[in-house]
Amino acid sequence: MQQKLVEKMIIRELLAGERAKLLDFLLSLNEADRYRRFGRSMPDTAIRAYVAQIDWTEWVLLGAFNSQAELVGVLELAEARPGACEIAVAVAPSYRGKGMGKELMERALLKARVRGKDRVTLLCQADNEPMRRLARSAGLRAVTADGETEGELDLDVARPGDVAEERTREAIENVAYMGLLTTRAWADLVAEGFARAARVSEPA
């Protein structure tokens, strides 16, 4: 049974200036997780090349951040053809099975509708049951062939309420994220102050 998230996640669209955050997250994945995400072996050099070629004007990258403002999940919504886009998801091991993938998927489908897309697809290995389960929970029709499963979903035309919801949620999550960054910065300053005081008090 899927557990609920143990802490409140902040899900927001990543900006081009956060490319390094995305790179660090993907590099943190082990070999098996990289294979599940990309469908092939991805050494560090390939990961770096992949992140470098991302078109931030066409792709949507959603990041899930924990209470320490650390990136722990990413969903990529990449242009596949005019009117359609492909979804790829990766979640840090300690945050799997807690509903994060579903939250990312729900936000991605909203983003896709608002951007005028009429279809989304998701491709994964046939033995990647968590990803297949995520696709089914989002309503994607799945077809398995040659060891791969492809799910697809036709999207409704965005309603005015969808646009308002997407903008409101993005604004709220950005404000919450900035609050986390401020809190973490103060915590780091306090910790640094204590460490400095401890060094000063040490006998010569």
Confidence label for 28 from pLDDT (cuts 50, 70 and 90): very high
What pLDDT is recorded for position 202? 56
> What is the pTM (predicted TM-score) of this model?
0.81
The residue that leads in pLDDT, 137 or 18, is 18
Least confident of 47-51, 60-64, 161-165: 161-165
The tens digit of pLDDT for each residue in 34-44 reads: 998 998 899 99
The third-level CATH classification (topology) of the domain covering 10-197 is Aminopeptidase (3.40.630)
Distances in whole angstroms, Cα of residue 28 to Cα of each of 17, 47, 88, 91: 19, 10, 17, 11
Domain definitions of the chain by residue range: 10-197
Tokens 């102050």, residue?
Answer: 193
CB 71 within 8 A of CB 21: yes
13-35 mean pLDDT: 95
What pLDDT is recorded for position 201? 52
Tokens 């809190």, residue?
Answer: 183
131-158 mean pLDDT: 81
| Alpha helical stretches, state H, the chain | 19-28, 31-38, 44-52, 100-114, 129-137, 160-201
Degrees to nearest 5, angle at CA 71 with 68 and 75:
145
Q: Is the pLDDT of residue 13 over 90?
A: yes
Confidence label for 189 from pLDDT (cuts 50, 70 and 90): very low
**Residue 115 identity:** R
What pLDDT is recorded for position 149? 74
